[in-house]
């Protein structure tokens, strides 16, 4: 079980930011506490926590996908319809995100500051991290595909190649399901033991993750102290640009696109969609978890909106692993924002590669606490950022991630509700046609 604390993580992060800001303003780069502590030391310790977060993310995604594939049952006809709706929602989310990033290029506002910020957090980052072109990016689709086929089963985990890890997870999960359904050599006892082992590993990794998450506010406090101590309070002006950019994409998707789809395709008035679903929306924002909100989402769909139980459960219980527009939009827009900040000129094919990575990570890490923040380092690695720069940037983004995370949860819950409404609408049409 995950460790529970009295204060929500968002409040802990706010306190950590305030403490770090105070230490940075008061002591700057000078030693204090009788000369044995400096803000720079706190920042270095904080980055070790973020590095550990990235270390756990890759195996966690692998095991989470295996666990989901083993325990999820869904009929082909309903699954095909679910995938189609989720796919349309995803395409629209990516169009919104890519349009904002390419038309307004907000990341360029960091172009004269990213090296300064990163060099303050790690003395070697400025020398080794900023490259003119991203590694591994090519216009040749065959080379792109070949780059994700590992030479052995260990390389993807060593190199944190998230796409390769997910491909291995899908292949392994499919093989386990096949053997389970076809009674492996007349006796699937071994498969059942393997299932239990995978589930146990998943919960062990979640427990490890819960301990690391407890240290995130302390890590952020140290990083903020170091940055504010060297660059002053101007760092928060830069972060506000990032915050406004991400919120714009998320809010447009959930409060313009979703209501329009519910009204035009699902034949549910916008007032009813937002009004009768308000409990789930508020719950998602308050708890910062679409998974915790599932019972409320089901009640809103079945008791208030009149959606059938089957459609509601299919979307909120099974489809919730796919309805992660919030996380996917966040990952892709953040990666493109930082690519612009560093000066990577990515064409549309390279941007779509980032989108593909965000999609895979978003599906694979569904339901995991702080999923967006945990998966972000893996997506950032697809644009060629070095590990040093990723470790330096994540704590800065984490200072405002608690705001974005709550909106991400709202997007995911509203996506669950929309998919259920559309599934129900198509079911009605099918009955009428029959």
φ/ψ bin of 35: left (φ > 0), alpha (ψ from -120 to 50), beta (otherwise): left
Alpha-carbon gap, residue 346 to 352, rounded angstroms: 10
DSSP 322: T
Q: pTM score, two decimals?
A: 0.70
Helix (H) / strand (E) containing 239: helix 235-252
Q: Which pairs count as long-range contacts for 109-112, CB under 8 Å and 24+ apart, including other chains? A: 109/238, 109/241, 109/341, 110/238, 110/241, 110/242, 110/337, 110/338, 110/340, 110/341, 111/340, 111/341, 111/342, 111/343
Alpha-carbon gap, residue 411 to 371, rounded angstroms: 14
Q: How many CB atoms lie within 10 A of CB 429?
A: 10
- How far is residue 203 from each of residues 23, 63, 214, 363, 369, measured CA to CA in Å? 37, 9, 17, 18, 12
Taking each helix axis as running N to C, give the angle between helix 189-231 and helix 235-252, from 0 to 180 degrees, rounded to the nearest 10: 140
User: 197 in helix, strand or coil?
Assistant: helix
pLDDT for res 433:
53
Q: What are phi and psi of 97, to 5 degrees?
A: -65, -50
Q: Are 94 and 324 in contact (CB under 8 A)?
A: no
Alpha-carbon gap, residue 180 to 363, rounded angstroms: 23
Q: What is the CA radius of gyration of the chain?
A: 22
pLDDT along the chain (434 residues), means of 10: 57 84 87 85 82 78 78 67 89 94 91 62 42 44 62 78 76 84 64 88 85 82 81 76 94 96 95 92 76 79 89 75 81 89 83 83 60 74 73 77 85 93 83 51
pLDDT for res 137:
45
Give how far the C-alpha of residue 390 lies from the chain's centroid of Cα atoms, to the nearest Å: 15
φ/ψ bin of 137: left (φ > 0), alpha (ψ from -120 to 50), beta (otherwise): beta
CATH of 9-428, one of 1.10.3860, 3.30.310, 2.50.20, 1.10.3710: 1.10.3860
Q: Are 221 and 13 in contact (CB under 8 A)?
A: no
């Amino acid at each position: 079980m995950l460790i529970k604390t009295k204060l929500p993580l968002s409040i802990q992060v706010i306190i950590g930011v305030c403490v770090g800001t105070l230490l940075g303003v008061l002591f700057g780069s000078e030693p204090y506490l009788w000369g044995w502590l400096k803000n720079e030391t706190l920042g270095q310790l904080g980055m070790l926590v973020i590095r550990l977060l990235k270390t756990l993310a890759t195996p966690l995604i692998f095991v989470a996908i295996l666990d989901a594939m083993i325990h999820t049952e869904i009929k082909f006809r309903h699954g095909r319809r679910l995938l189609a709706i989720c796919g349309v929602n995803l395409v629209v989310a990516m169009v919104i995100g890519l349009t904002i990033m390419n038309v307004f290029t907000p990341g360029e506002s960091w172009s004269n500051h990213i090296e300064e910020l990163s060099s303050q957090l790690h003395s070697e980052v400025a020398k080794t991290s900023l490259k003119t072109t991203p590694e591994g990016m090519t216009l040749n689709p065959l080379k792109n595909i070949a780059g994700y086929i590992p030479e052995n089963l260990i390389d993807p985990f060593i190199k944190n190649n998230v796409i390769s890890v997910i491909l291995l997870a899908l292949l392994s999960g499919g093989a386990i399901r096949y053997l389970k359904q076809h009674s492996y050599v007349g006796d699937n006892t071994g498969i059942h033991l393997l299932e239990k082992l995978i589930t146990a590993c998943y919960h062990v990794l979640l427990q490890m993750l819960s301990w690391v998450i407890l240290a995130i506010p302390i890590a952020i406090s140290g990083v903020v102290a170091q940055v504010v101590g060297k660059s002053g309070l101007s760092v928060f002006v830069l972060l506000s640009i990032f915050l406004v950019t991400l919120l714009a994409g998320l809010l447009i998707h959930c409060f313009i696109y979703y209501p329009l789809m519910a009204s035009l395709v699902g034949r549910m008035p916008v007032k009813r969609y937002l009004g009768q679903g308000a409990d789930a929306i508020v719950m998602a924002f308050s708890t910062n978890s679409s998974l915790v909100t599932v019972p409320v989402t089901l009640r809103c769909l079945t008791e208030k909106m009149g959606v059938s139980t089957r459609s509601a459960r299919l979307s909120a219980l099974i489809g919730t692993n796919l309805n992660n527009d919030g996380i996917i939009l966040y990952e892709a827009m953040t990666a493109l924002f930082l690519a612009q900040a560093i000066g990577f000129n990515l064409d549309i094919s390279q941007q779509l590669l980032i989108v593909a990575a965000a999609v895979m990570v978003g599906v694979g890490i569904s339901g995991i606490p702080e999923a967006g923040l945990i998966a972000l380092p893996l997506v950032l690695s697809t644009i060629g950022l070095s590990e040093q720069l990723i470790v330096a940037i994540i704590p800065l983004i984490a200072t405002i991630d608690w705001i974005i995370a709550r909106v991400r949860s709202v997007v995911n819950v509203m996506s669950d509700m929309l998919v259920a409404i559309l599934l129900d609408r198509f079911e009605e049409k099918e009955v009428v046609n029959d």
